[in-house]
Structure 1
Amino acid sequence: MRSVGTILVITILLGLLAAVGWFAFAGITAPGEPMPSAGYVALAFGALITVLVGVGLMALVFYSSRRGYDEPPRFHEDR
């Protein structure tokens, strides 16, 4: 059985997801000038850079974890 807090958090997150979807749909179907192709290129470039930064940061997390950089420092007296 799920607790009330878990159900509340899931409900709030689903509500936020629905709101974002509604705003995205409203933005795409809004009347007026369509987005120029330079805008789509900038959007794709920004998404690509965001993914590359995320991949790089995750690679650094795994690298530092495997090399022991995340361990607390030890002094010679502790041996």
Structure 2
Amino acid sequence: MRSLSLGQAILIVALCAMLALVVVGIVWVSDATNGVDDVAMDENGWIALGLGSFFSLAIGCGLMALMFVSSRRGYDEAADPFRKRSRDRT
């Protein structure tokens, strides 16, 4: 196993620090002292949350799939006038 360079070590430390900040933020936001636990959600709220999450994920995955299919089939090449074509037409 090769050793890490200085840049890679700094990157790993920075990413771990950001992860720690995110975890601390989540704990702080979900803490009971902020008054968030006093809000109750009824059945309609849970249904709306579930459906909204599902359809957001479905639309995101569908658009990403269309992007990859479009890229692999070459549909994007015609829309990019600055890219040089790899195939020469003779």
User: What letter corresponds to residue 30 of structure 1 in structure 2?
Assistant: D
Q: Which residue of 2 aligns with 1:40?
A: 46
Any stretches of 5+ residues in structure 2 without a counterpart? none
- Alpha-carbon separation, structure 2, partners of 1:70 and 1:17: 39
Shift of 1:25: 5.3
RMSD over aligned CA atoms reads 2.8
Structure 1 outlier segments of 4+, above 6 Å = none
- Alpha-carbon separation, structure 1, partners of 2:54 and 2:27: 21
- Alpha-carbon separation, structure 2, partners of 1:40 and 1:16: 25
Per-residue CA deviation, residues 14-53 of structure 1 (Å, 9 max, x unaligned), is 31133124423547x723x521111101110110111111
User: What letter corresponds to residue 58 of structure 1 in structure 2?
Assistant: M
| Aligned residue runs from structure 1 range 1-79, under 5 A | 1=4, 2-24=8-30, 26=32, 30-31=37-38, 33-71=39-77, 72=80, 78-79=88-89
Any stretches of 5+ residues in structure 1 without a counterpart? none
